[in-house]
Structure 1
């Protein structure tokens, strides 16, 4: 059994999902041992031998069919998630909730992120992840996942370091 992590982008507010219902929908779509973490679209499941792209398609179609929300999905294996967490240059920051990894659905065409001048945030692009440190907190920052999507031209969804550590443990 291969444990895979599916990260839904944009869960909340008008696109809020009941996690129990989401688990049932995904299980009925043929994905096994579905677990969720928090209410933000963090899903750990058995990929049933499917490729990451196939898992993303199944999850997206199941969510659209059951809930009417067309939410992008970014998929990582347990090993990929653990590797990304280990590569995060800001992982030792005192406030894990203010360190995020922005997961990208593909490698962007650019080699580095160019941040706006005069902001306190730091960001490092490394393959299909952008590691971001928010020294003054995330809430007021302009560098949300949507900013990275726009500037990198790929689908993106962000999770903080604390959530990633929990997903790694859940998918082990």
Structure 2
């Protein structure tokens, strides 16, 4: 049975969590067998009969109760994640870590977020995702997920193409 992927926004630094403890807290909250990828809030879990919104709410509540952090959570089913990856116009770029998908909490109507003047990045908005290509790397770019959130007025969290591909494989 395909699983769902929960993406916790803002994991790291002062909101860092140990992944074994996070898996335990989420399993205790009734989210079944939970797998993590990296230490950045990438979770693969069994949604049971819950909607994606209900899973996001349950993960957020469990993290808040277990760790004291109130962090946004965005959930995609395996099919939604695979569809987003297939729609990413930059997914086949040679450097997958320099291509990101910003997963949005809700769809937006615009096709392109406003980018800084002279920025080398390319970005395309497609429903609940923003696809961004960073030809000069991500580290020094002004076009991070927070920048996109402010321009579009919606919560989002970014994952690079390599991570998205791994999450698709894990959730199959």
Per the normalisation by structure 1, the TM-score is 0.97
- The count of aligned residue pairs is 172
Any unmatched runs of 5+ in structure 2? none
Does 1:96 find its partner at 2:101?
no
For 2:12, the equivalent position in structure 1 comes to 12
What does residue range 4-153 of structure 1 map to in structure 2 within 5 Å?
4-153=4-153
Tell me, in whole angstroms, the C-alpha distance in 2 between the residues paired with 1:165 and 1:69.
27
- Partners in 2 of 1:50 and 1:9 — Cα distance? 21
Q: Given that residues 2 and 47 in structure 1 are in contact (C-alpha distance below 8 angstroms), is that contact kept between their aligned partners in structure 2? A: no
Measured in 2, the distance between the counterparts of 1:89 and 1:146 equals 21
Contact 1:2 1:48 (C-alpha < 8 Å) held by counterparts: no
Q: Contact 1:98–1:137 (CA<8 Å) still a contact in 2?
A: yes
Cα distance in structure 1, aligned partners of 2:112 and 2:95: 25
Q: Is the 8 A contact 2:103 2:156 kept in 1?
A: yes
SS in 2 for 1:159: strand
How far off its partner does 1:17 sit? 0.6
Unaligned runs of 5+ in 1: none
Please give the alpha-carbon distance, in whole angstroms, between the structure 2 residues aligned to 1:26 and 1:108: 30
The Cα RMSD (Å) is 0.9
